[in-house]
Chain A
Amino acid sequence: MFAAATAAILVALSLAITRAIRGPTVFDRVLAGNSVGTLAIMLLAVTGFLTGRPEFLDIGLTYGLLNLISTLAVLKFFRHGDLAYAADDEQRS
């Protein structure tokens, strides 16, 4: 059961990486990176249950936060061309 889930996650991981490499636009790559992070969390959880130690689920929470941070940074960079746009605007005005 868990082995089948692991295999399915690995297939999904390879599909997401294919999209990240071939993706014609930036948003394809951002979305693929986000889903790779999510799949890493799922792989962590399923591997924990597969080896009989589900204590690693807490680390999945940390991964989720990191995934959010990097996706937010990428999108903010793409929207404003800068990571600290607010401070710059305040200084200029």
Chain B
Amino acid sequence: MLLTLLAVVTMAIVRQRSLFGVAILAGIYSFVMASVLIVLDAVDVAMTEASVGAGVSTVLLLATLHLINSTETRPIRRNLLALFFSVGTGAILVWGTLILPPFGTPDAAIHKHVAPRYIADSVKETGIPNVVTSILADYRGYDTLGETTVIFTAGIGVLLLLHRARRRGRAVDEAEDRG
């Protein structure tokens, strides 16, 4: 039911010509997606989806709409090759899910490898009472360090670009004042 609603909202986003409506529909999509994730018992992911998707990206989309035109003028061209490739990729992904174990199976391969050791020994080895935190901050410490480095680099890049744009704008203003 929720997945049907997701598909309906996606079709509406694709067919919607007014970008303002697209921004609102994207927020709706995020809330429906968060509900799907809650039903799947992934409440933390649902919270991230709701905060990033519905909160921050709606604001960012609107701020972008302020800078550009708010209607999409390019007419729809039907691209059969793109349709073929997306349907083919989707079919391959669905085919890949056929060999997965059923949802929630306790003896799936992913639950046999390192998860028992995390559950049994994480308090003794790391001293952190929360198992998820101990995995993220200790067992996968290098992974988390890499992710943080990527985000930090992206932040530095955005700051540099914004700073340069602002300085150029100020220089133009001063030139206009002199002239």
Known: A13-B32, A17-B5, A20-B24. A40 touches B50 (CB 8 A): yes
What are the residues of chain B within 8 A of A43 when measuring CB–CB? Answer: 35, 38
Instruction: State the Cβ distance, B40 to closest chain A Cβ, in Å.
Output: 11
State how many residues of chain B have any CB contact under 8 Å with chain A: 34
B108 within 8 Å of A by Cβ?
A: no
B159 within 8 Å of A by Cβ?
A: no
Instruction: State the Cβ distance, B49 to closest chain A Cβ, in Å.
Output: 10
Bound CA–CA A17/B21 (angstroms)? 12
Question: Which one of A26, A47, A73 lies within 8 Å of B58 (CB-CB)?
Answer: A73
B157 within 8 Å of A by Cβ?
A: no
Question: Which one of A23, A66, A74, A82 lies within 8 Å of B23 (CB-CB)?
Answer: A74
Bound CA–CA A70/B34 (angstroms)? 15
- Is B51 in contact with A66, judged by CB distance below 8 angstroms? yes
B43 within 8 Å of A by Cβ?
A: yes
Bound CA–CA A66/B66 (angstroms)? 21
- Is B43 in contact with A59, judged by CB distance below 8 angstroms? yes
What are the residues of chain B within 8 A of A47 when measuring CB–CB? Answer: 38-39
Bound CA–CA A56/B39 (angstroms)? 12
- Is A56 in contact with B58, judged by CB distance below 8 angstroms? no
Question: Which one of A29, A36, A74 lies within 8 Å of B32 (CB-CB)?
Answer: A36
- Apart from A10-B2, A56-B38, list 10 A-B contacts with CB within 8 A: A14-B5, A33-B27, A33-B28, A59-B47, A62-B51, A66-B51, A70-B27, A70-B58, A77-B65, A83-B63
The 7 closest A-B CB pairs, nearest first, are A66-B55, A40-B31, A70-B58, A21-B12, A77-B62, A73-B59, A29-B24
